[in-house]
């Protein structure tokens, strides 16, 4: 019963290529997130979105952009891939939580391991 | 913004012993503190969380404690088992104030020695 699906488990791309990472969730969550995971650095937020067509920069947005045309889909775009973007990319989604309500937590996808050569 | 520090980065304990992982946060407005477990090759999964209006929460062998004054929270695993081996991440956020993003710690690799 996979609820957050990332389109590719492994990707190998060349330097300078435009790369699309896709994420789809079937839980009708408002919030969607893209993190990258690197050893010793944990999970760092790249971009997130609270609603369709909305996006906000996270802590490390440089070199990335995102698109959210439909509620269930959140795409991460590497405009011109570079070797320092070799990483594990994790998508997550969560419910919008009104103040005082129970917290739902994130549901993560399985990740996409991107190698840029 | 929020900054979360997590220690230790690696931890090895004998099966049956207890393990403790500690995190500190910087933003006094943070009010939601989840813990995620990531087994090798798998996605992170929420194992327990705590809100700032309680000091401790338990779920079987795992517990989380929160000290708001000192701005730190800890994960406690008792009677450890081999299946507890994983990377654990803490996180914090001032949730409910229009800010839904989590700031994660750098992770702790826990190894249970049989």
DSSP string, B58-79: EETTEEEEEETTTTEEEEEE-S
For chain B positions 31-90, those within 8 Å of chain A (CB to CB) are 32, 34, 36, 42-46, 49, 51, 89
Question: Residue B96: CA atoms inside 13 Å, Cβ hemisphere, count?
Answer: 14
SS3 A77: strand
User: Looking at per-residue confidence, does A65 or A105 come out higher?
Assistant: A65
Convert the pLDDT of each residue in A7-27 to its tens digit.
Answer: 899 999 999 999 999 999 998
**Phi/psi-derived region of residue A79, left when phi > 0, alpha when psi is between -120 and 50, beta in every other case:** alpha
Is the pLDDT score of B96 beyond 70?
A: no
Closest CA to A63 of A18, A22, A93, A33: A18
The pLDDT value recorded for residue B54 is 82
- A58 phi/psi in degrees, rounded to 5: -95, -145
Q: At B2, is the pLDDT very low, low, confident or very high (cuts 50, 70, 90)?
A: confident
| Consecutive H or E run containing A89 | strand A87-94
Lowest mean pLDDT among A80-89, A108-117, B31-40, B50-59: B50-59
- The arithmetic mean of pLDDT across residues B38-61, rounded, is 91
Lowest mean pLDDT among A34-43, A93-102, B39-48: A93-102
Q: Which of A43, A44, A98 sits opposite B96 (nearest CB)?
A: A98
Q: Which of B42, B101, B104 sits opposite A48 (nearest CB)?
A: B101
Lowest mean pLDDT among A100-114, B37-51, B55-69: A100-114
Contact B102 A44 (CB under 8 A): no
Is the pLDDT score of A78 beyond 90?
A: yes
- The arithmetic mean of pLDDT across residues A64-91, rounded, is 97
Q: At A103, is the pLDDT very low, low, confident or very high (cuts 50, 70, 90)?
A: low
- The conformation of residue B53, written as its DSSP 8-state character, comes to T
- B84 phi/psi in degrees, rounded to 5: -80, -10
* Chain B residues inside the 8 Å CB shell of A42: 6, 89, 104-107
User: Looking at per-residue confidence, does A92 or A95 come out higher?
Assistant: A92
The pLDDT value recorded for residue A98 is 60
Is the pLDDT score of A29 beyond 80?
A: yes
Contact A108 B44 (CB under 8 A): yes
* Chain A residues inside the 8 Å CB shell of B102: 33, 45, 106
Lowest mean pLDDT among A48-62, A85-99, B27-41, B51-65: A85-99
Convert the pLDDT of each residue in B5-44 to its tens digit.
Answer: 999 999 999 999 999 999 999 999 888 899 999 999 899 9
Q: Which of B42, B102, B105 sits opposite A106 (nearest CB)?
A: B102
Contact A43 B51 (CB under 8 A): no
- Between CA B14 and CA A78, with CA B5 as vertex, the angle to 5 degrees is 110
d(CA B23, CA B15): 23
Q: Which residue do the tokens 């004054």 mark?
A: B69
Q: Is B8 on the interface with A (CB under 8 A)?
A: no
- The conformation of residue B93, written as its DSSP 8-state character, comes to B
**Mean pLDDT, chain A, whole residue set:** 91
**Mean pLDDT, chain B, whole residue set:** 92
Q: Residues with Cβ < 8 Å from A102, sequence gap 6 or more?
A: none
Lowest mean pLDDT among A67-71, A81-85, B27-31: B27-31
Q: At A1, is the pLDDT very low, low, confident or very high (cuts 50, 70, 90)?
A: low
């Amino acid at each position: 019963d996979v609820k957050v699906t990332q389109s590719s488990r492994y990707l190998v791309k060349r330097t300078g290529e435009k790369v699309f990472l896709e994420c789809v969730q079937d839980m009708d969550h408002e919030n969607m997130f893209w993190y990258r995971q690197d050893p010793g650095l944990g999970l760092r937020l790249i971009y997130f979105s609270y609603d369709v067509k909305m996006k906000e920069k996270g802590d490390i947005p440089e070199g990335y952009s995102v698109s959210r045309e439909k509620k269930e889909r959140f795409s991460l775009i590497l405009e011109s891939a570079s070797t320092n973007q070799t990483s594990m990319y994790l998508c997550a989604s969560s419910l919008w939580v009104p103040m005082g309500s129970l917290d739902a937590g994130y549901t993560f996808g399985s990740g996409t391991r991107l190698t840029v050569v | 913004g929020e900054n979360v520090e997590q220690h230790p980065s690696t931890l090895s304990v004998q099966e049956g012993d207890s393990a403790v992982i500690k995190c500190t946060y910087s933003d006094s407005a943070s009010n939601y503190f989840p813990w995620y477990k990531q087994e090798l090759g798998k996605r992170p999964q929420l194992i327990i969380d705590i809100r700032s209006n309680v000091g401790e929460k338990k779920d079987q062998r795992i517990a989380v404690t929160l000290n708001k004054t000192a701005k730190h929270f800890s994960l406690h695993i008792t009677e450890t088992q081999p299946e507890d081996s994983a990377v654990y991440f803490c996180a914090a956020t001032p949730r409910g104030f229009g800010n839904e993003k989590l700031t994660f710690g750098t992770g702790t690799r826990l190894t249970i020695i049989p």
